A and B are shown apart, each in its own frame.
Chain A
Amino acid sequence: MTTQILISGFGGQGVLFAGKFIAYKGLLEEKEVSWLPSYGPEMRGGTASCSIIISDEAVGSPIIANPDVLIAMNLPSLDKYEPACVPGAKLFLDETLITRKVTRTDVEAFYIPATQLARDAGIPTLGNMILAGNMIRETGIVAMEGVEEVLKKVISAKHADLLQANLHALQIGYQYTKEML
């Protein structure tokens, strides 16, 4: 099986980091993975995105045209990528920042007030990991078990103090439930 995950938001929301975390989790589960960032001028203050592929087979093209999973952290990201998602795709939206609903009826949407939940928990910059946690729960693409080991690999020694906060954010997202709209 091959899953194509696209994460998109403003530069600074931790889009690339969340993507690296998911890709590394896949790697440690002995899957084939690729991670490709947008590195154009748009990531300097505009929309940043990254494409993660997790597969049982060798990854061909690392470029994603039609995601199976979309994590959208701002409205421009939803506007841009909602039409591109495959039918049956799972969309994870930061409800605090995206006020509109998904218009397509052939995809599953999960609305998580990630930014608000992060603020309430005193970790205001970790909405990205709350969304990642919820994505793990709802898709099962990678397991929640062993995430701490992955965080140790993706968080640099300089920021080691943020490991617990990231773990907390993942757990908030993983536990968050609301009736699907």
Chain B
Amino acid sequence: MAEKVLMKGNEAIAEAAIRAGCRHYFGYPITPQTEIAAYMAKRMPKIGGTFLQAESEIAAINMVYGVAAAGMRVMTSSSSPGVSLKQEGISYIAGCDLPALIINVQRGGPGLGGIQPSQSDYFQATKGGGHGDYHLIVLAPASVQEMADLTIQAFTLADKYRCPAMLLADGTMGQMMEPVILPEPQTSAVEKPWAVTGTQNKRPHNIINSLCLRPEQLEKANFERYEKYKQIEANEVLYESFMMEDAEYCVVAFGIAARVSKNAVISARKNGIKVGMIRPITLWPFPTDAIAAAAKQVKGFVCAELSMGQMIEDVRLASACTKPVLLCNRVGGMIITPEEVLEKINTLAAL
């Protein structure tokens, strides 16, 4: 087995991306994710890759757009305000059905906000963010190991479905160090016959373009894209179920909030409350069926998240509001404590 190394989450993302065959990184520094850019700056020149610190986040995402069109694995990373700047480019990438990876190591907002951890970009990540009808495949790591593993997974899914993917982390995940077993470098390159690589007079032109002035065609493209999204929803949902077998109550949380909530679930169990946790790993596609099934089993939910209540809407939708859903939240860079989650579980149990 490969050696366990102690690594920051941000560094684990960067190393995993390189091992996934990503040789092109474009970014602009912003706390708390700058270690990704720093790592890439150090490594890319040594392995024949590109590291480019763009003049802005907008430039960086458009460079990603270009490399993705040429069929190569490519990524950018930023934190909340920077990811807002990238939204136009992300919409174009989605509109051109291109695979690319966007990392968001979230910090508190809105506006320039602060630099401490947050999960308040859930809506932006899962409901579009940019203009038009589209989705990103959104993966939410809850450990440094997952920062590495889900980076690889994101590239794989992006290529498989020709669809941009996002890793939605937060400042804690980016900054903390944990033991990680780095994945083996991937060697098999995915065939991309659609890529613009030069025809050499041997094939018709490949055209990558999101402009489509004929409404019939644009409608068709949208319907086709949503057929693809249906497949993703059917095949790619990931979540962790923790102590749910006999649970009467269910905590739903992702990322750092799930780490904190796990402690609360264990404490509540010690107090005799039968509570479990569902941790969405893909935020889009959301584990709707798992929540719906839980809604039949449990008396209520606690949704723990570092926002004013964003994922809670999906929990309520998935459970069709058949059971109470309480919100346990802190925002602005504050992080919920196990005691706060436990208190909500107790409140729920007392309803």
- The answer to whether B6 touches A23 (Cβ under 8 A) is yes
Contact with A along B90-124 (1 / 0, CB 8 A): 00000000000000000000000001100000000
Give, as a whole number of angstroms, the nearest-CB distance from B172 to chain A.
Answer: 7
Per the bound structure, the CA–CA distance linking A23 and B144 in Å amounts to 14
Per the bound structure, the CA–CA distance linking A37 and B6 in Å amounts to 14
- The answer to whether A61 touches B6 (Cβ under 8 A) is no
Contact flag A20-B259 (CB < 8 Å), given A27-B4, A33-B6? no
- The answer to whether B259 touches A39 (Cβ under 8 A) is no
- The answer to whether B337 touches A65 (Cβ under 8 A) is yes
Q: Does A174 sit within 8 A of B, measured CB to CB?
A: no
Q: Does A34 sit within 8 A of B, measured CB to CB?
A: yes
- The answer to whether B176 touches A36 (Cβ under 8 A) is yes
Per the bound structure, the CA–CA distance linking A61 and B117 in Å amounts to 14
Give, as a whole number of angstroms, the nearest-CB distance from A153 to chain B.
Answer: 8
Per the bound structure, the CA–CA distance linking A42 and B339 in Å amounts to 26
- B172's partner among A41, A62, A153 (CB-CB below 8 A) is A62
Q: Does B71 sit within 8 A of A, measured CB to CB?
A: no
Contact flag A34-B263 (CB < 8 Å), given A20-B6, A39-B115, A61-B338? no
Per the bound structure, the CA–CA distance linking A11 and B226 in Å amounts to 51
Q: Does B32 sit within 8 A of A, measured CB to CB?
A: yes
Per the bound structure, the CA–CA distance linking A62 and B173 in Å amounts to 10
Q: Does B195 sit within 8 A of A, measured CB to CB?
A: no
- The answer to whether B4 touches A61 (Cβ under 8 A) is no
Q: Does A110 sit within 8 A of B, measured CB to CB?
A: no
Q: Does B129 sit within 8 A of A, measured CB to CB?
A: no
| Residues of A with C-beta under 8 A to B266 | 60
- A33's partner among B32, B171, B178, B256 (CB-CB below 8 A) is B178
Give, as a whole number of angstroms, the nearest-CB distance from A61 to chain B.
Answer: 4
Q: Which residue on chain A has the smallest CB distance to residue B257?
A: A61
Within 8 A of A (CB), among B318-344: 335, 337-339
Contact with A along B1-27 (1 / 0, CB 8 A): 000101000000000000000000000
Contact with B along A141-158 (1 / 0, CB 8 A): 000000000000100000
Q: Which residue on chain B has the smallest CB distance to residue A61?
A: B260
Q: Which residue on chain B has the smallest CB distance to residue A31?
A: B179
Per the bound structure, the CA–CA distance linking A27 and B337 in Å amounts to 25
Per the bound structure, the CA–CA distance linking A24 and B171 in Å amounts to 21
Give, as a whole number of angstroms, the nearest-CB distance from A33 to chain B.
Answer: 6
Contact with A along B264-287 (1 / 0, CB 8 A): 001000000000000000000000
| Residues of A with C-beta under 8 A to B339 | 65
| Residues of B with C-beta under 8 A to A35 | 6, 176-178
- The answer to whether B115 touches A40 (Cβ under 8 A) is yes
Per the bound structure, the CA–CA distance linking A37 and B31 in Å amounts to 13
Q: Does A160 sit within 8 A of B, measured CB to CB?
A: no
Q: Does A121 sit within 8 A of B, measured CB to CB?
A: no
| Residues of A with C-beta under 8 A to B176 | 34-37, 62
Q: Which residue on chain A has the smallest CB distance to residue B31?
A: A39
- The answer to whether A20 touches B172 (Cβ under 8 A) is no
Per the bound structure, the CA–CA distance linking A27 and B172 in Å amounts to 20
Contact with B along A17-58 (1 / 0, CB 8 A): 000100110010000111111011100000000000000000
- The answer to whether B179 touches A33 (Cβ under 8 A) is yes
| Residues of B with C-beta under 8 A to A65 | 337, 339
Q: Does B262 sit within 8 A of A, measured CB to CB?
A: yes
- The answer to whether A20 touches B178 (Cβ under 8 A) is no
- A62's partner among B4, B32, B259 (CB-CB below 8 A) is B259
- The answer to whether A60 touches B263 (Cβ under 8 A) is yes
| Residues of B with C-beta under 8 A to A39 | 31-32, 115, 171, 175
Within 8 A of A (CB), among B231-277: 256, 259-260, 262-263, 266
Q: Which residue on chain B has the smallest CB distance to residue A62?
A: B176
Indicate the member of A27, A61, A62 with the most B CB atoms within 10 Å.
Answer: A61
- The answer to whether B175 touches A27 (Cβ under 8 A) is no
| Residues of A with C-beta under 8 A to B263 | 60-61
B interface residue numbers (CB < 8 A to A): 4, 6, 31-32, 115-116, 171-172, 175-179, 256, 259-260, 262-263, 266, 335, 337-339
22 contacts between A and B (CB under 8 A): A23-B177, A27-B6, A27-B179, A32-B179, A33-B6, A33-B179, A34-B176, A34-B178, A35-B177, A35-B178, A36-B176, A39-B31, A39-B115, A40-B115, A40-B116, A60-B259, A60-B262, A61-B262, A62-B176, A62-B259, A63-B337, A65-B337
| Further contacts, 12 of them, CB under 8 A, given A36-B175, A36-B177, A61-B259 | A24-B6, A27-B179, A34-B177, A35-B6, A35-B178, A37-B175, A39-B32, A59-B178, A60-B259, A60-B262, A61-B256, A65-B339
